[in-house]
Amino acid sequence: MTLNRLIIPPWRDHWFKSNPCYQFQARWKFHRAFLWRDFMSIETSLRIFPPDWTQPMPLRDFFGNDQPIEVDLGCGKGRFLLAHATAHPNVNFFGVDRMLRRIRKVDNKARRQALSNIRLMRMEAYYATTYLLPPASIATYYIFFPDPWPKKRHHEHRLFNSRFMDALHRTLTPGGGVHFATDHLPYFAEVCALIRADRRFAEIPPFVPEPEEQTDFERYYIGRTPIGRFSFRKT
């Protein structure tokens, strides 16, 4: 005699999975795996945790050398950051992104490639620049394809505004530069106008990454839509 396989009716399966207890348990199992991986790799992780999240942090201490520091704001999956850090071993690179999963992936890739000149932080770009980076400490910013917030009612969420320009000026070294790129041309025009009206900065030739350094966004949009590039330096 054989036992038939238990079959749960579709309506009952839907009720079970919509139960709050089941949902909590499923989420906990999902996050537990990430927490365990973080715990196992905390000693070798390239992620930075400032001693005070409300004050400028000793960024250079996390690198342990006097090499210039460049920042990739919104580093995403890290394609540009990893390739550029590999090509410039005598420069320190600091990757910032608000998505924890992205930061974890870049962290794992950088450690596998033995890139000791990379440090990472999970943080929103505006907050990191305004509150966590020390004065006159950054040689270069790379800001590629930030969220353009295309709807008019969301424009206040855009990264570039007068307050962000103040933060860039405060944290850049004398002569330090910023490289910006976006596929959203109305946003590009707005950013260019904002920068050209600020006498604290001067326009320089736009930075064009090498093919192996192109971000995933750039690789997707090349050939589909024009890409605006604008670079400027602190005077």
Active site residues: 147
The C-alpha angle with vertex 177 and arms to 183 and 103, in degrees rounded to 5, equals 60
CB 100 within 8 A of CB 75: no
Identify whether the C-beta of residue 125 lies closer than 8 Å to the C-beta of residue 73.
yes
Q: Are strands 172-182 and 228-234 parallel, antiparallel or unpaired?
A: antiparallel
Determine the distance from the C-alpha atom of residue 185 to the mean position of all C-alpha atoms in its chain, rounded to a whole number. 21
Q: How far apart are CA 138 and CA 133, in angstroms?
A: 8
Determine the Cα–Cα distance for residues 179 and 229; give it in Å rounded to an integer.
8
Helices (H), 42-161: 59-63, 79-87, 100-112, 125-127
- β-bridge mates for residue 69, sequence order: 92
